[in-house]
Structure 1
């Protein structure tokens, strides 16, 4: 079996520091394991272009390992050439470098080391916020030059206390950012997310949800992006949205570079609409030497906290994702079930396996309730009977990192192909950070079935017909109930 790994070159540093496991030189520490089992292990950092090591060897590799820090971009075209590929492993978190729909179509598994970077990235976010607000970079550069003009630095330095700070995304990383900000005594902590935090989790960090993105950014002195990259978030922060920011706000992005329009951000920083921008993610990685984010400044000559992508690859994080990669490989080779939380795409479908254990306890309860001791915070939540759970982990983690839009026609066809439908409505409830559909079905197939049974029936249809994980809301009525609802609605309209 051929295992292909695309990793970044660590140079002399990797030779001097063997704990740099995610590098070309140290190979995630898995060579001995693979070769002891008779497998071929090829490693390179050469990934660009049709003549690259990556594209040459992907054609007959069974396993691909890559990282978010130096990703091998696996497009639909490359999937067509990768005739023997069976599994893709991301050594880290974030598999947006892989065409996931193509992986589903080819029945190729995609896994990543879930949770390996969350603490590392959350700490990096906090560092970025502080270095921007305290105007640290220009101060350090002044010291290096041998200068000493305190007023030039202090005129653009502020306290974190008393500021309004918001996160776009309050999932695994975003929530930890809120936790770490609380001791700084901010004026208020806000979050923007298509799904609300459980009440107890929000209370624990004293965070308030703002449902409108423009309203959210207009209230914040500091904004941090902790959302996944998908079609709903690509280019989310653009010229139009930046115009709604508070003048002189700070923006931190350690999520994915493509969430921000690079030219719009540079222009906003140059004009002073943004006082500072920091992060470690770029729209293309490695970033070109002439990338505008490398040298952009605010009108006072500072405000740039950009670094190469390393927030999630500290030595501690590398130990976690190297161990996780080995575990995924071992499970694959021995036929052992993978850890559910690591599965992005199972065998030919978007994974719902991570929800099965929770689902078993939910389907016997009409309230879909999860008690606080079942899951660690912030994933304590309850669901009402009006929601079906095509993939519970979507709701529990707040963000579904791999949401893709589903054409309404596909949803309608999936339902109509299985049951006779009297009335069907599908309403797109998409927000800036995700797609969500309300489904209203009237069918005589629901006669004699409880509300819970109806929802499970529709849920089963969608899981079989649509290879995508999603959280839907739905309403299900029999034709008799539908007629009664029509009468009730008419009476209400007449009364008003």
Structure 2
């Protein structure tokens, strides 16, 4: 009997185009969902007749309750090799194999700099004004050369963001709970004595931490109050690291000069969400890992994972 495979959140409609799925012809029928399925009931209804599900990053939670409502599900494939919203114990208990794929850190590094530069030079405002016949020049750009870039996190992505900052002639500092002087020296950046020192000294702050109990709401109202009123915050990591209400208040009151975000507590962002109209905010719809090369890897390896599963030898098993 032919199996059925659901591909979730194929917003751009490219899942079956960027990779070659022909190896599965005659054995697996692939159905891509372009619209986001919101909530357990919607997911359970839509996926009831599928044996395989391919999900992107951590956009769709698979808790025990949902897995129990998908009796046909046998293979769950997530992009990347780390996923915090899948209940692995429940998957195992219900006989569901979970696999991952490789993932490149290049796209989120590039997006971080696209957002930071967009903030610094008022790109969206100036482009919009030019195209609409608005005023010729209305913003005053913030310089990067000689300014302080503060990085919360100096892992695979943070270290590459640091390298670009150094190339721009910025003074780069980093802090995280377990960051050592040796690691900072290896990357060529200064080690901030504390999170508070980094926030107070930086002209640009960029978040590159994994989400966990220690990092959840790491930046709240007291921390944002430490930042310079001329400073900018960029978050392409995880929404829950920055207290959303505190960020909205800091933007509305002009406590900081601006922010750029690519991640949200609720995704897709509701049409009436206050972040959509917040002042001095540059916002993108979670594009961090959305690039053609990354999608080729995600979906190409998803096909490999399905083939391997059908042969009884699953690849890249999680966790």
1:259 deviation in Å? Answer: 2.2
Match of 1:278 in 2: 260
Provide the C-alpha distance between the structure 2 equivalents of 1:296 and 1:167, rounded to a whole number of angstroms. 24
Distance change in 2, residues 1:289/1:86 (3 Å): same
Does the Cα contact within 8 Å between 2:233 and 2:259 map onto a contact in 1?
yes
* Residues 193-237 of structure 1 deviation map (CA, whole Å, 9 limit, x = unaligned): 2333683x6335321233532232222211111122333333222
The question of 1:65 aligning with 2:54 is answered yes
Task: Please report how far the alpha carbon of residue 249 of structure 1 lies from its aligned counterpart in structure 2 after TM superposition.
Answer: 1.6
Q: Residues 255-334 of structure 1: matches in 2 within 5 Å?
A: 255-297=237-279, 303-334=280-311
List alignment gaps of at least 5 residues for structure 1. Answer: 15-19, 298-302, 346-496
TM-score, scaled to structure 1: 0.58
Q: What secondary structure sits across from 1:153 in the alignment?
A: coil
Instruction: Give the match for residue 82 of structure 1.
Output: 70
By how many angstroms is 1:183 displaced? 0.6
Aligned twin of 1:208: 190
Distance change (3 Å), C-alpha of 1:193 and 1:330? farther
C-alpha deviation, 1:243, in angstroms:
1.8
Larger radius of gyration: 1
Q: Provide TM-score, normalisation by structure 2.
A: 0.86
Q: Give the structure, 1 or 2, with the largest relative contact order (CA under 8 Å, sep 6 or more).
A: 2
Whether 2:182 is the aligned partner of 1:196: answer no
Q: CA deviation at 1:107?
A: 6.6
1:332 is displaced (CA, Å) by 2.7
Indicate yes or no: 2:116 matched with 1:129.
yes
> Where do 1:223-238 residues align within 5 Å?
223-238=205-220
Structure 2 residue aligned with 1:8: 10
SS in 1 for 2:158: helix
What is the CA RMSD across the aligned residues, in angstroms? Answer: 2.7
Give 1:91's match in structure 2, choosing from 72, 79, 86: 79
| Number of equivalences | 316
2:217 is equivalent to residue 217 of structure 1: no
**Are 2:232 and 1:244 equivalent residues in the alignment?**
no
How far the C-alpha of 1:138 sits from its partner, in A, is 1.9
Measured after TM superposition, the shift of residue 111 of structure 1 is: 3.3
Task: State the partner residue of 1:138.
Answer: 125
Q: Distance in 1 between matches of 2:250 and 2:41?
A: 39
Q: 1:137 to 1:39 in 2, by over 3 A?
A: closer
Shift of the 73–190 alpha-carbon distance from structure 1 to 2, 3 Å rule, reads: same
| Compared CA separation, residues 42 and 147, structure 1 to 2 (3 A) | closer
Cα shift readout 1:395-443 (whole Å, capped 9, x = no counterpart) = xxxxxxxxxxxxxxxxxxxxxxxxxxxxxxxxxxxxxxxxxxxxxxxxx
- Secondary structure class of the residue paired with 2:139: helix
Alpha carbons of 1:250 and 1:111: their partners in 2 closer, same or farther (altered >3 Å)?
A: farther
Distance in structure 1 (CA, Å) of the matches to 2:315 and 2:181? 28
* Cα 1:276/1:31, change in 2 over 3 Å: same
**1:420-459 aligned within 5 A:** none
Match of 1:165 in 2: 149
Mark the runs of 5 or more structure 2 residues left unpaired by the alignment.
none
Structure 2 Cα separation of the partners of residues 114 and 183 of structure 1 = 28
Displacement of 1:78 in angstroms is 0.7
Cα distance in 1, alignment partners of residues 36 and 103 from structure 2:
27
CA distance in 2, matches of 1:57, 1:140: 41
Q: Secondary structure at the match of 2:297?
A: helix
Alpha-carbon separation, structure 2, partners of 1:250 and 1:236: 16
Instruction: Specify whether residues 121 and 216 from structure 1 end up closer, same or farther in structure 2 by C-alpha distance, changes over 3 A only.
Output: same
**SS of 2:151's equivalent?**
strand
Displacement of 1:43 in angstroms is 3.1
Deviation of the 1:250 alpha carbon: 0.6
Q: Contact 1:3/1:64 (CA < 8 Å) preserved in 2?
A: yes
Contact 1:192–1:211, Cα closer than 8 Å, also in 2: yes
| Runs of 4+ residues over 6 Å off in structure 1 | none
The reply on whether 1:41 has 2:41 as its aligned counterpart is: no
- SS class of match (1:41): strand
